[in-house]
Chains A and B, each alone.
Chain A
């Protein structure tokens, strides 16, 4: 699996957009980018995933660079409830079973 690099921590003002970067320079052609988050003491929660096109759902947007070596998760209007650890995971698609969680980025939304 491709290795990912994320900042250890980030702050964001409430109501502003939170942009969380992820570097995955060794990603291969069949690997997807997944984002999960873990709010304190809870089980991780799926946010979004993508292969090469930008994706948007009700929770967030995922921007993947054209060379696919990095991506950014965007929470358009961060709230205090978005304070969590965000994990960027790269994994092959169909037929793969496992996700490898690194240490992620601790996002703190500040009032």
Chain B
């Protein structure tokens, strides 16, 4: 049981390049999330998904797209990377039971845009 995994762990992009971050979970969770964390700041929600085939915007969605074609995977895309997108990106997942908001987080992807 690997929990939540993220690929890649590190990446350096040039301005204007595109890339996709992959998040995978093996806990059969319904909900998945993408956050970004800038230095000295808390996490900010980019996009989330409440089930396979669904996505929704979070607090800071501009410049990102997402897809949830399979329940276990949640992809975050940057079509044209900008230096302002330099950040650490965390993926999380959560089950659908009751009032518990226990999200399980991946190890993060450190992205630098030059």
Contact = CB atoms under 8 A, between A and B. Distances in A.
Given A43-B90, A87-B42, A104-B42, A97 B99 contact: no
B43 A101 contact: yes
Contacts, number: 60
B41 A103 contact: yes
Q: What is the predominant secondary structure among interface residues of chain A facing chain B?
A: loop
A97 B108 contact: no
A43 B101 contact: no
A91 B43 CA distance: 15
Contacts of B100: 49
Given A43-B92, A97-B48, A98-B48, A34 B101 contact: yes
B77 to A, nearest CB: 20
Nearest to A36: B103
Interface of B: 4, 31, 33, 35, 40-45, 48, 50, 56, 58-59, 88, 90, 92, 98-108
Given A41-B88, A89-B101, 17 more contacts: A34-B101, A41-B108, A42-B105, A42-B108, A43-B90, A44-B43, A44-B90, A49-B101, A51-B99, A93-B99, A93-B101, A96-B101, A97-B48, A98-B58, A99-B103, A100-B59, A101-B42
Interface of A: 32, 34, 41-46, 49, 51, 87, 89, 91, 93-94, 96-104
